[in-house]
Every structure is written in structure tokens, then in C-alpha cells.
Amino acid sequence: MHRFMKDYYYFLGVSQDASDEDIKKAYRKLSLKYHPDKNENDEFFAGRFREIQEAYELLSDKAKRRTYDENLESHQKSFRYNTPPSIKTFTANKIHAKKGEEIIISWQTQNADVVKVLPFGLEKPYGERIFKITEFKDGKFQLLLHATNSLLHKTVVQGITITEVFESEGEKFRDQAEELFRSHPRTVANPHGQPKILKIMVAVLLLILAVYFLIKSI
């Protein structure tokens, strides 16, 4: 038996006591989300779709599911409970990049049965991923590797920050200018998702009014 069994219940987002109907509903929902027709040329979505298919084919077959459950229980009992998860390596081929430039990251974990690379999602305990950064936030792109031993309920996290570089000062100025006028996600501090330029204009107006009233009161 392999040291780590694939957790098909985890792939479908259901509990081990899920009913046949629960498994079918979860499969339909996830297969639509990760279907290759909706995510063309994306290896991550293609990989998740294959795992979802594999999980459903096994768990929807009562005989196969019963055998799998027995093996899973035996595996969990034999798992080394006293060994916490660890991250051996988590690297990127570059930590300074231009928008649209190709980045290669690789990772290797130990004693982890649930591994995630954010913002991408569930991954294997070790691997490599190639992607392009389409957007930076405040000149940075954050990657986080989560390695979890679900039996010990312990998780270790490691991050990589990639900073944005520009072809020229003109490109940098243009990017900063676009950021000022771009609408932002709604938050408690910015419930309407207003661009930064509006906040700056309001701040300047308030400053002018404050100076005006201060001079007037002298």
C-alpha cells in the first residue's frame, strides 16, 4: 500500500458517511466547474477534473467503495501519528518578474496528505507548476504552500513573494496610473469598490477645506 492514499472524499468535498445522492450532487457541481471545455489549456483544471472523475467512479460503485473504505481505515491506523508535516523545498525560478512573464515553481513536502498551493488550490505532495502572472497587487504576487497532516491536524506554511519589474519608467508610471483609476473589490473599508483616485481627491478636498477654515479663523 502507498504511504498516502488518495482521499476521494476530500476531492469531492464530502464526508466519509456521505450518501450516494450527496456524492452525485458534489460530482455534478465540481465536474461543471473543472470541465476542460470551460478551462481550455489549463493543466491544473484538467488534473482536478481527472481526480474528480476518478473519485466519482470509485465512490459511486458500492463494492469498490466498501473495499476503499476498508483500505482507508487500515491506512489511517498505520499512519505515523507522531510525525508532523514538513516542507523540504518550495522555490520559484525567479522572484522578480514582468506582468505576463512565465514563472516556474516547484515544491516537495513530507508527511502531508493534503497539500495546497495558493492561489491555485489542491496539489500533489510534490510537483512543479508553470504559470503566468496577469495581475500584481501593490507590485507583488504572493504564493503560499500549505502542507497538512490531517490525522495530526497540523499544517505548515511557506510563502514566496514575486515582485513586479517594468520595462521602463514609462511603463511603471502607466501601470501606477491605471491602478489609481481601476475599480477595486468591495471591502468594509471600501464598500463601493471605488478607485483609489476618488479617495485621493476626497482627501485633497478635505485638506483644502481644513486649511481654508484654519486661515479664516485666524
Predicted confidence at residue 56, as pLDDT, reads 95
Range of the domain at 152: 86-164
pLDDT at 163: 93
Domain boundary (49, 78, 107) is at 78
Residues 21 and 67 in one domain: yes
The last residue of one of the domains, among 78, 102, 124, is 78
* Domain harbouring 16, CATH code: 1.10.287.110
Which phi and psi angles does 200 have, rounded to 5°?
Answer: -65, -45
Residue 175 lies in a domain: yes
Q: 13 - beta bridge partners?
A: none
pLDDT for the residue 218: 66
What is this structure's pTM? Answer: 0.48
**β-pair type (154-164, 96-97):** parallel
In a domain, 56, yes or no: yes
Note the pLDDT of residue 189: 55
Classify residue 1: in a domain, yes or no.
no
Domain shared by 152 and 111, yes or no: yes
The 10 Å Cβ neighbour count of residue 117 is 21
Kindly list the averaged pLDDT for each block of 10 residues, start to end, along the chain of length 218: 68 89 93 81 80 93 92 70 84 91 92 90 88 90 93 91 76 54 55 61 78 74
Cell of 147: 502542507
Examine residue 2 and state whether it is found in any structural domain, yes or no: no
Q: Which residues contact 48 (CB under 8 A, 6 or more apart)?
A: 11, 30, 34, 121, 122
Angle 161-165-170 from CA coordinates, rounded to 5°: 150
Q: What's the pLDDT score for residue 89?
A: 93
| pLDDT at 81 (0 to 100) | 56
The reported pLDDT for the residue numbered 2 is: 41
Residues 17, 67 within the same domain: yes
Number of domains in the chain: 3
The pLDDT of residue 180 is 54
One-letter amino acid identity for 97? A
